[in-house]
Amino acid sequence: MAAAKILTLACFRNEGSRTDLSARPHYPSMPKYPKGVSTKEKEKIEGSESKALFSVIGMTCSACAGSVEKAIKRLSGIREAVVDVLNNRVQVIFYPSFVNEEKIRETIEDVGFEAALIQDEISEGSNQVCRVRIKGMTCTTCANSVETSLLGVQGVRKAQVALATEEAEIHYDPNLVSYNELLKAVDDSGFEAVLISSGEDISKVQLKVNGISLDDSWETVQCSLEALPGVQTVDIDQILQKISLSYKPDMTGPRNFIEVIESIGLGHFKAMIYPEERGRDFHKREQVEEYYRSFLWSLIFTTPVFLTSMVFMYIPGVKHVFDTKIVKMLTVGELVRWVLATPVQFIIGWRFYYGSYKALRHGSANMDVLIALGTNAAYFYSVYIVLRAATSKTFEGTDFFETSSMLICFVLLGKYLEVLAKGKTSAAIAKLMDLAPETATLLTVDTDGNVINEKDIDGRLIQKNDVLKVIPGAKVACDGFVIWGQTYVNESMITGESRPVPKRKGDTVIGGTVNQNGVLHIKATRVGSASALSQIVRLVESAQMAKAPVQKLADRISKFFVPLVIILSISTWLAWFLAGKFNSYPKSWIPSSMDSFQLALQFGISVMVIACPCALGLATPTAVMVGTGIGATQGVLIKGGQALETAHKVNCIVFDKTGTLTEGKPVVVSTRILTQMVLQEFYELVAAAEINSEHPLAKAVVEYAKKFGEDEENHIWPEAKDFVAITGHGVKAIIRNKEILVGNKSLMLDQGIVIPIEAEELLAEAEDMAQTGILVSIGGTMAGVIAISDPLKPSARDVISILKSMNIKSIVVTGDNKGTANSIAKQVGIETVIAEAKPEQKAEKVKELQAEGYIVAMVGDGINDSPALVAADVGMAIGAGTDIAIEAADIVLMKSNLEDVITAIDLSRKTFSRIRWNYIWALGYNVLGIPIAAGALFPSLRFRLPPWIAGAAMAASSVSVVCWSLLLKNYKRPKKLDTLEVREIRVE
């Protein structure tokens, strides 16, 4: 029903006027309910909605699509039907209580087309989304390996693995595969998988219970909880004293569970929400601490290794001690370095061996392979030197223990700094999650609405339909609506809207927003994962999982990067070794402390460890993470890297009119009565007829009519008999024994009503002023003309002007009549106007523009314009408010402010610029670093990179890419928009 409600709201915004035959929404397929039937009763009658997808053969044009759509919508119980001519498909959302798939299929065939139900894609219930945290990934190769493994599992429809967040989002069919099998697939690919959510545990809570010691008591508690209405599963862990419950939030909640548990123990049992760290934050902190400890231990062992090989050799007395021979040519210094380097290589550096094994087992190679090969080459060559020295009286050689241990030490330092910086890239999500208040004031209210009691409770214990008190300065605990009080609420933290929003009885409030000056009593409607805040967090998390197209470059490079580096490393060693063997360079080039073989080995190791696949892998996702997070704080929700990348190339924007360029809230601006009648009596009759209509123009008339009554909120209108809504024309009813007609010119002509010249002139005048003229007939005589206007948004003209300065073309495509559309376009400065366009025609116009070479963004309300939003390169849903679950849009603009279109494009340009620089740095680093490490500058400048410095440079490259992305946190929207906001405040 939530989806049906959103659709109804969208129809309220239908752009057509009473002078446009396609204007008024009509629901011939939906059941008619008598007055007084509640929403719950309607929901019970209709039941849950279903989705069906049909393949339709024979459609060739929009006319075919229109005939199929009309035929389906004539059926009872159809909520929506969308026809895709290009792919020969029809998607239908319907209520099974009224119609089934076979009936829909037969209806399509009756129109003259061949139809078949596509079984695999009809059920939303057969698709769940599982989120998994993956430990141990180090580069893009790891992420690709996990993704390939998951996609190979039967039942997995889509898998996205994000290196930056170390998480995977998997779309799967629970009938074919379980989430445990998905976790096993990740484990089999060589990485540790931890379940974040399975898609099944939307309403789940874990309780900590103290005071229970007997098994019988646990059994009693379990039986009592299972007996509660709405409880689905109860799992008890006696060791941890934890109870996990899944339940239906409409029927019960955590407070009921705690009351039941404590009542069983007669006060001896105490229950509370299980204290758990927030998943992602805890994992990040754990990872940071782990790398910090590893680096610290490696530093403790590596420092003396470095001192004995690089510093003490220059101090005469100390040098003598470490040069003392123990066995034959084996010195104290060599033995000390061997002893200290071994735990660094095999204990602290074990992670690199394990990572290499996991990667190589699946036929891929990652950064761990490069580090393991490089450090092993240095370590085992050094062991060979030590053993030769211990068994020979004449052998002299130089060990490389400092190379292997310092290399591991610097890599761990780099990884520590990297995870530290990566943690900050998701700061926006953490900030959003922290908006939910920890406590709330729960009110106990009697049947008359009087407050009996109030108490503070844990914010996680709030249940649907609770009545909560919000004092000035406090955060709203959950989504709901005001039942008492009035105030101003700061919603900037959710929507980005800087101005406080007035709230009074009946207005909705969003959890996490701040009450400013008055006391409110609110009724909870959406709690936990159903709240707007949770939806925003999930949307941003999903966006950060999605890969931008530009990342495909890194994915392609990563497949060959490590093997290529290994080949280059071996080639470098071999080239320098053979050059030394055949005296191709002077002996003076070789440092006194080593021979030609050791020099070649150092060059080879340096090449191996300076190459950095991590920087390439992090270039895009870290920038996308920060960009989408910053967008969320600005009220701009960007659904992934693709939308972010495409938006920066947009050079043409198609605007919907109603609710986009205009406020979307029609208001009565003038009334002309053509008979001898009092204005109050006139509106009494008109409103009595229009109160039964759900058209936005009808609502505007009713709201205006309330001003003439004594009680605006609870005005009682005269009874309307024989009410009929005439699609695209208006309404007809008998009120006080008089026939009342309210509608457009066509309605009056069809009903035989004579339209005087004065009324014709008033209609023409209204149209010239971008107003909608409504004719009213009472008792067969033209009684008056009502002019309704949808006000232009204050910033519309300036926004179009700014877009022109950005070389972006603007077009209006609307379903409204030509006169109104041209008038609005002229006011805002748009030259190209397409009026009286149906939804499919809007999509066709978008495709025409794309064929002309434009990168097109469509800005609409997200529902009526869904075909065009899908067809556009970037779909922007404006004015979505808290209803952010709009599938068609790529970018959701939380506020109704038109200037956020500019913010979205500007943010995408800044983010993509950062991605571009990240790639320039990452690729440039490897292109320049590898030749230098290979000794390209050694013949001319005698400059060479020791392996430990090459390793430090490799670690620094990853950190620099992440830090470069983090600079996006300083993003400020264009200054021109700040002046627009100030101007809007003055206007108001």
Strands 891-893 and 636-638: antiparallel
Residue with tokens 């790398």: 291
Beta strands in 120-199 (DSSP E): 128-135, 156-162, 167-172, 192-197
In this structure, are residues 778 and 675 in contact, taking their beta carbons and an 8 Å threshold? yes
**What is the token pair recorded at 227?**
């007996």
Using CA atoms, how far apart are residues 463 and 252, in angstroms rounded to an integer?
8
Using CA atoms, how far apart are residues 454 and 473, in angstroms rounded to an integer?
18
Using CA atoms, how far apart are residues 60 and 769, in angstroms rounded to an integer?
40
Torsion angles phi and psi, residue 177, rounded to 5: -150, 145
Beta strands in 289-358 (DSSP E): 325-327, 330-331
In this structure, are residues 154 and 117 in contact, taking their beta carbons and an 8 Å threshold? no
797 burial (CB, 10 Å; 0-12 / 13-18 / 19+) is middle
CA gyration radius for the chain? 35
- Per DSSP, what are the bridge partners of residue 771? 789
Using CA atoms, how far apart are residues 908 and 895, in angstroms rounded to an integer?
18
Neighbouring C-alpha atoms within 13 Å toward the C-beta of 299: 11
Helix (H/G/I), strand (E/B), else coil: 237: strand
Does residue 656 have an active-site annotation?
yes
Type and span of the H or E element at 234: strand 231-237
Q: What is the DSSP string of 274-300?
A: -----HHHHHHHHHHHHHHHHHHHHHH
Nearest of 256, 254, 265 to residue 221 by alpha carbon: 265
Q: What is the DSSP string of 705-744?
A: HGGGSS-STTPPPPPEEEEEEETTTEEEEEETTEEEEEE-
Q: Which of 20, 479, 656, 861 is catalytic?
A: 656
In this structure, are residues 184 and 639 in contact, taking their beta carbons and an 8 Å threshold? no
In this structure, are residues 584 and 600 in contact, taking their beta carbons and an 8 Å threshold? no
Using CA atoms, how far apart are residues 875 and 80, in angstroms rounded to an integer?
20
Helix (H/G/I), strand (E/B), else coil: 877: strand
In this structure, are residues 740 and 732 in contact, taking their beta carbons and an 8 Å threshold? yes
Neighbouring C-alpha atoms within 13 Å toward the C-beta of 616: 27
Using CA atoms, how far apart are residues 459 and 671, in angstroms rounded to an integer?
51
Torsion angles phi and psi, residue 269, rounded to 5: -95, 135
In this structure, are residues 537 and 432 in contact, taking their beta carbons and an 8 Å threshold? yes
What counts of helices (H) and strands (E) characterise the chain? 33, 36
**What count of other Cβ atoms lies within 10 Å of the Cβ of residue 415?**
24
Q: What is the DSSP string of 541-595?
A: HHHHHSPPTTHHHHHHHHHHHHHHHHHHHHHHHHHHHHHHHTT-S-GGGS-TT--
Using CA atoms, how far apart are residues 594 and 218, in angstroms rounded to an integer?
72
Beta strands in 625-682 (DSSP E): 636-638, 652-655, 667-673
DSSP, res 475: B
Residues known to be catalytic: 656
